[in-house]
Structure 1
Amino acid sequence: MRRTRYTAIFLLFSIMSYAQVDSLINYSNQAEGKEKIDALHKIILELWLNYPDRAMGYGEQALELSRQEGDSMLISKSLRLIAGVYYYRGDFDLSLEYNQRALTIALKLKDSALINNGYNNIGLLNYNLGSYQTALEYLLRSKEIKGKIGENYGLSTTLNNIGLVFERVGDYETARAYFRQAYDVAIERKSDDNELYSTNNIGITYLREGNLDEALRCFRKGYVLGKKIENINWGAVSARGIAEVLMQTGHPDSAVQYLNSSLSASKSIDDKKGLAEAYYLLAKIAQTQGDNERALESLQMCESWANEIRLWQQQLEVLKLYASVYDGLGMEEKESEYLRMYINLRDSIFHDVVSRNLALIPLKIKEEEDRIRLTEQQALIRNQVVTNQLFTFIILITVPLLIVMIILFRKNNKKNKELQRNNEELKRTQKLLITSEKMASLGVLAAGVGHEINNPLNFIKNGIEALSKKLENNQDDEMKSYFKIINEGVSRATNIVKSLSHFSRRGPSIDERCNIHEIIENCLLILHNKIRNRIKVLTYFTEQSAELKGNEGRLHQAMMNIIANAEQAIKEKGTIKITTIRGKDFMEIWVEDDGEGIKEENLLKISDPFFTTKAPGEGTGLGLFITFSIIEEHGGEIDVTSTMEEGTKFTIKLPL
C-alpha cells in the first residue's frame, strides 16, 4: 500500500525539549504584546506534532493578539502555525486555506523567508491532495528561493518534501537522491528530527522497490533514534515500516508485536492517521493467516480513523481489502458491493483533483501578475534614481540652463503623460496575453489527458465486449454484475475526458457547428463537484434545434465563466436555472441564480478588465471581461440584471 506520512513542513523556530513547555506557558501568562505572541508561537511548535488539539487553542490566541497588534508579520506567522496544526490533524483543505492567506500577506510584505515557507507548505499540501505537478512546482520554487537568500534552515524539510512527490509517482531513485540530500543537511545542522524523518523516507523507497534488507536496516535505525530523541510520531512510523518488512518476509507474529507498539504510541498522542495505518497492516496479516473475521475487525477500526480525517488513499486501500476478504469468505454480494464503493470513491477523487487544478489557474495568474508588478516597480525606482542624479548634476554645472530645462520639461510633460497612457495599455495587453497563455496551457493539458486516457479506456471497453461475447452462453448473474460495474467505470471516465476535450479547442475559427445544450451540459459536468449536495440546477431547454455556428472552445469558456459566477454567488444552498429559447434570428440563453446579487454601482463595471469584488488572491477580474469579448466576437450580446439578496440573471443572445 502507499502510505502518506506526517512531515515537518512549518518550521520557524528552534525545536526545544518537552520539559520547556510548562515554563513557556508560565512565561506567556505573564508576558504582554509581541513577547507574549512569540512565546505562544513557540508553545505551538512544541505541541502541534503530538498534541495538535492543545496547539490549536494557543494558535487561535496568538492570531487574535497579532491582529490586535496590527503586525502583518506576526499575523502571517500565526496563520501559518494554525495551518500546521490543521495539517497534523489531517485537515489538508483547511491547512491549504490558511497557508494561502499567510502567503498573500508574505507577498505584500515582500519577505523572502515567509514567501519561501508559503511555497513549501502549499507544495506539500497539494502533494497530500493528489496534485503532484502543482506540488512539485511550488516545492522547487521554495528550494530556489532558499538558494538565492542563502537560507539553509528548513532546507532538509524542503528536500524531503520534493522527494515525497517523486516517491508517490514511482520514481524511487530520484526520490531517494533527494532524501539523502535531506539526510546530509540534517546531519550537518545536527537536526535529529529531520535525520529520523529522512531515514524513514529512504527506507520506504527501498520497501517499494522490494529491497527488504536495506528497508529493514533504515527502519531499525529510525526506530532506535525515535526512542532516543522521544519523537513519538516518527518512531511509530519506523515501527510500522519494520512490521511491513517482517510481514513480507514471513514473520507475521513479530510484525504484530511492532504494530502493537505503534498502536500504543499513536494512541498516546491521538495520532488518528497512525492508528489507521497500523490497523490496516494488522488486517492484512490476519488475512494472510486465514483469520478473515479478525481481518474484518481490524479493517473496521482502520476505516473509522481513515474516514474521520479523510485519508482518501487509505480509504481506497481499505475498500479493496474489504472486497478481498469477503471474496475469501465466499460472500460474493458483499464483494461486489465493496468493489462498487471503490469505483465510486475513485471517480469522486478524480473529480476533486480536476476541480482543484482548474481552481488553481486564477491563483497562478495572480502570482504571475504580482511578480510582473514587482519587477516594474523596481525598474521604475532605478529609472527615477538615475533621472534625479542627472537632474542634480545639470543644476550644479549650469544654472543658466535651468530656465531652458523648465521650458523643455513642460513641453515633455505632456508627451510623458501620453507615453504613460500608452505604457499602461501595453501592460494591460501583456497581462491579457499572460491570461491567454494560461488558458492555452489548460487546453494543451486537457488534450493531452484526453489522448492518454482514451487509449486505455478503449482497450478496457473492447476487451470487456470481447470477453462478454466469448462467455455469452456461460454468464451467470455474478459475472454479469462484474461486467456492469466495469462498464459503468469506463463510461464515467469517458464522459469526463470528453468534457475536458471541449476546453482544449482554441482555434480562431467561428464557423464550427456548436450545440449550446451540449456545451452547457459539459460545463455542468466539470462543475459537478462544486455544485452537488449544495445547489439545485434546473434546465429548461428548447425542444427546437440548439445548433449555431461559432467557436466551440471559446463558447465553452464563456458559458463556464457565467455558470461558475452563478455558483460562487450562492454562499450556502440555492438554485441555478438555465433556460434556452430559439427565436427567428437569435438563440437566447438565460442563466439565473438566487445568490447574493450584484450592487447597482458595480453592474456597469463587471465587463471591465481586472474589476473584481473578490478578496485578493481569489479572482483576477478577467473572467467576465473575457466572456463579454467572446460573445461580441460571435456577434452576440449580454444583458445583466441583478437585485441584492435575491439573485442575478444573465441573458445571452447569439445569432443563428
Structure 2
Amino acid sequence: MASYTNGQVDTLQAKLLGLEGKARVDQLHKVVIELWLNYPALAMKYGQEALDVSNTLGDSILISKSLRLIAGVYYYKGDYTQSLEYNHKAFDMAVLLGDSSLLNNGYNNLGLLYYNLGSYQLALENLLRARSIKEKIGEKYGLATTLNNIGLVFERLGEYTEARKYFREAYAAAMGISKQDDEVYSLNNVGITYLREGNLEAAMRHFSGALMQANEIKNINWGSVSLRGIGQVMMEQGQMDSAAFYFEQSLEKSLQIDDKKGISEAYYFLAKHALKKGDTDQAIEYLHLSDQKAQQLQIRQQQLDNLKLYSTAYNRKGDKEKEILYLNKYITLRDSLFLDVVNRNLGLIPLKLKEEEDRYTLTQQQARIRNQVITNQLFTFIIIITVPLLIVMIVLLRKNDKKNKELERNNEELKKTQKLLITSEKMASLGVLAAGVGHEINNPLNFIKNGIEALNTKINPNDEELKSYFKIINEGVDRATNIVKSLSHFSRRAPGVDDKCNIHDIIENCLLILHNKIRNKVRVITNFTSMGAEVKGNEGRLHQAMMNIIANAEQAIKEEGTIEITTRRRDGQMEIWVEDDGEGIPEENLMKISDPFFTTKAPGEGTGLGLFITFSIIEEHNGHIDVKSNLGEGTKFIITLPL
C-alpha cells in the first residue's frame, strides 16, 4: 500500500488489527470516510465488510450507518442510481428505529443526491425536512452542512441572492459550534455566487477570507478551493501572471493530499489560462492531465468541460479534424448526461407517487370514517321518524336519477357529434394538404441530397472550403425535411386518445412550423420541466390545440414581443402555461372565446372556430383550460392535462 499518500491507508488498516464486533465496525466506518473520495473501490470493500459485520451483530443502527456510507461511495463514484437505492435502505431503517439523528442524515443525503440528479424540488423538500428536524431536536452539529446544501440548490437554479442567504446562515451555524471547516466551505460558496454574478470585488473578498481561515486550521482541501477561486477572479480581471500563480498553488496543495478532483480542476483552469495567453500546446497538455484524473473518478461534468475546451484549443490551433472529433465527443457526453438526468428523474417518480399515495390513502380513510359516523347517525334518525316517507322518496329519487342520467348521456352524445362535425372536415382537409405537401417537397429534397452526395465524390478530398459549403446545404435539406415531418405530426389522426404523447415534442413541432412567422417578431422562451412530460392522448389533436393557442399568442402581438411557454407537473397533472405580452382580451370577451364562431377579427380573416376546437380537444382529453388576461398587458393560457 506504499503507493497511497503518506502511508495514509497503511495507518488506517493498522488501526483495524485486533478489532472485533462494534469496535471494528466503527473503525471501518472511519476508513470508508477517509477513502471514498480518492479510492472508491477500496472504500467499497471496507463498507461492505462493515455492513456484513453489522448484520451479524444484528445492530440496526450500525446497519443503517453502513448502508449510508456505501451509498456515499456510490455517490462519489457517480453511480447515483445505486446511491439512491442504498440511501433509501438506510432511511427505511432509520424510520423503523425512530432515530431523529439518522432521519436527519437520511433527508440530508437524499436531498444532496436529488440535487445532483437535477431534481431540485425534491432536493429542497428533503433538505428542508432535515433542517426542520435539526431545529426541533436542538441539534446544531451538521446544521451548517444542511444549510450549505440548500444554498447549493438555489445557486444551481441561478437564485444567487437566496443562495447567499443560506450560505451565510451556514457560516453563522458553523461559528456557533466552532466548526471551522464549514465556515471555510460557506465562505467559498458565497464567493462562487459573486463570481457567477460578475461581482469580482466581493468574490475576491470572500475567497481571500476563506483562504486565510483554511490556512489557520490547516485545511489543505478547502484552501486549494479558495486558491482556485482567487485565480478565476484574477483571470477575469486580466491579471494573468497572478492567476497562474494561484492556480499553480492550488495544484500543489491538491497534489500534496492526492485530491484527484482538486487536481483535475486545477489543471483545467491552468489550461484555460494557457489558452487565454495563446499557448495552445500547453493548454492541451494541461487538459490531458485534467482529463486523466476526471476519468479515474468518473467526474463526468469535469470531462464535459474538458472536451469543450479541447475543441476550442484545436480550433485555435487550426486542427479542424481534432476540433470536430472533440466537439462530437462533447455533444455525445452532454446528450448522455441529459438522458441520464431524464431517466433518473423518471425513475424517481414512483417514489414520489408512493409517498403522495400513502398520504392520500390516510386522508381518505379518515374522511370515510367521519362520513360513515355522520351517515349512520342520520340514517338511524330518519328510520325512526319517517320510514314510510323514506321508502317513497327513495323510489322517486331512483326514477328521477335514472331519467337525469339518460338526459346527460344524450346531451354528451350531442356535444360529441357537434364537435366531430365541426372538426372532421377541417382535419380531413389538413391531412390531405400535409400528405400532398410532404410528397411534393420530399421528392426535390431527395434530388438535392443525392446530387450533393454525387458531387462530393467528385471534389478534391482536401478542399475544406467546398466541404463546408456542402455541409451548409445538407443542413438546409435536413431542416426542410424536419418541417415536412412536423406537418405530418400536426395532421395525424387517431380514433382514440390512448397514445403516449410527449408535450415537449408537440410544442417544439408547433414552434418549428411557426418559426418563419415569428422569428423576426416574437422572442420565444421555453421553461420545460425536467421530470417528464408524457400524457395519454391523441397526438394529432393535441398538436392542433397547441398550434391554435401559440398562433393566437403570436397574433395578439402587433409589433414585437415575447411568448413564454412553461410546463410543470403538479398533483398528477401536466400544466402548460402559454403567456404573451400582446394586446390582451377585453373582460367582456373572456367568457365568449370558447364559443363557436365568436371572433373579433375582420370578416374573411377568421372563422371563430379555433379556440372552440381547442377547448373541445382539451375536454376530450379530460383536461381544462383557464384564461387570464389584462387589456394592454397580455394573456395567459393555462392548459391542464392528466399525466
Structure 2 partner of 1:202: 190
In structure 1, what is the Cα distance between the partners aligned to 2:219 and 2:484?
47
Task: Supply the AA of the counterpart residue of 1:355.
Answer: N
Number of matched residues? 412
Structure 2 partner of 1:221: 209
Shift, 1:249, TM fit: 1.7
Shift, 1:341, TM fit: 2.9
Distance 1:263 1:482, change over 3 A: farther
8 Å Cα contact 2:496-2:538 kept in structure 1: no
1:131-530 maps to which residues of 2 (within 5 A)? 131-369=119-357, 476-478=466-468, 480-481=470-471, 512=496
1:553 aligned to which of 536, 539, 542: 536
Any gaps of 5 or more consecutive residues in structure 1?
1-17, 380-471, 502-509, 523-550, 557-656
Distance 1:19 1:214, change over 3 A: farther
In structure 2, what is the Cα distance between the partners aligned to 1:200 and 1:490?
49
Distance 1:369 1:114, change over 3 A: farther
Shift, 1:50, TM fit: 6.6
For 1:512, what is the secondary structure of its paired residue? coil
Superposition TM-score, scaled by structure 2 size:
0.55
2:51 aligned to which of 63, 68, 78: 63
8 Å Cα contact 1:103-1:115 kept in structure 2: yes
8 Å Cα contact 1:143-1:158 kept in structure 2: yes
8 Å Cα contact 1:116-1:142 kept in structure 2: yes
In structure 2, what is the Cα distance between the partners aligned to 1:43 and 1:325?
41
After superposition, the C-alpha distances for 1:189-217 in whole angstroms (9 at most, x for unaligned) are 10011111111101111111111122122
Structure 2 partner of 1:427: none
Structure 1 partner of 2:117: 129
Shift, 1:155, TM fit: 1.1
Superposition TM-score, scaled by structure 1 size:
0.54
After superposition, the C-alpha distances for 1:419-458 in whole angstroms (9 at most, x for unaligned) are xxxxxxxxxxxxxxxxxxxxxxxxxxxxxxxxxxxxxxxx
Structure 2 partner of 1:79: 67
Task: Supply the AA of the counterpart residue of 2:468.
Answer: E
After superposition, the C-alpha distances for 1:350-388 in whole angstroms (9 at most, x for unaligned) are 221111111111112333456678999999xxxxxxxxx
In structure 1, what is the Cα distance between the partners aligned to 2:104 and 2:9?
28
Task: Indicate the percent of aligned positions where both proteins have the same amino acid.
Answer: 53
8 Å Cα contact 1:142-1:158 kept in structure 2: yes
In structure 2, what is the Cα distance between the partners aligned to 1:332 and 1:22?
49
Structure 2 partner of 1:115: 103
For 1:553, what is the secondary structure of its paired residue? strand
Task: Supply the AA of the counterpart residue of 1:70.
Answer: G
In structure 1, what is the Cα distance between the partners aligned to 2:335 and 2:484?
11
In structure 1, what is the Cα distance between the partners aligned to 2:115 and 2:62?
27
Distance 1:96 1:252, change over 3 A: farther
For 1:62, what is the secondary structure of its paired residue? helix
8 Å Cα contact 2:498-2:536 kept in structure 1: no
Task: Supply the AA of the counterpart residue of 1:235.
Answer: G
Distance 1:347 1:129, change over 3 A: same
Q: Give the structure, 1 or 2, with the largest relative contact order (CA under 8 Å, sep 6 or more).
A: 1
8 Å Cα contact 2:499-2:537 kept in structure 1: no
Shift, 1:33, TM fit: 2.5
Shift, 1:229, TM fit: 2.2
After superposition, the C-alpha distances for 1:151-206 in whole angstroms (9 at most, x for unaligned) are 32211111101111111121111111110010000011100111111111011111
Distance 1:485 1:221, change over 3 A: farther
Shift, 1:113, TM fit: 2.4
In structure 2, what is the Cα distance between the partners aligned to 1:116 and 1:372?
24
In structure 1, what is the Cα distance between the partners aligned to 2:204 and 2:273?
18
Distance 1:493 1:211, change over 3 A: farther
In structure 1, what is the Cα distance between the partners aligned to 2:320 and 2:150?
42
In structure 2, what is the Cα distance between the partners aligned to 1:148 and 1:119?
14
**Structure having the higher Rg:** 2
Task: Supply the AA of the counterpart residue of 1:186.
Answer: A
In structure 2, what is the Cα distance between the partners aligned to 1:105 and 1:227?
40
Distance 1:481 1:134, change over 3 A: farther
Distance 1:243 1:134, change over 3 A: same
8 Å Cα contact 1:203-1:216 kept in structure 2: yes
Any gaps of 5 or more consecutive residues in structure 2?
1-5, 368-451, 453-464, 506-533, 540-643
Distance 1:183 1:514, change over 3 A: closer
1:6-17 maps to which residues of 2 (within 5 A)? none
In structure 2, what is the Cα distance between the partners aligned to 1:168 and 1:48?
25
After superposition, the C-alpha distances for 1:594-617 in whole angstroms (9 at most, x for unaligned) are xxxxxxxxxxxxxxxxxxxxxxxx
Shift, 1:97, TM fit: 3.1
In structure 2, what is the Cα distance between the partners aligned to 1:275 and 1:262?
8
Distance 1:78 1:478, change over 3 A: same
In structure 2, what is the Cα distance between the partners aligned to 1:495 and 1:555?
17
Shift, 1:30, TM fit: 4.0
In structure 2, what is the Cα distance between the partners aligned to 1:225 and 1:280?
25
8 Å Cα contact 1:50-1:269 kept in structure 2: no
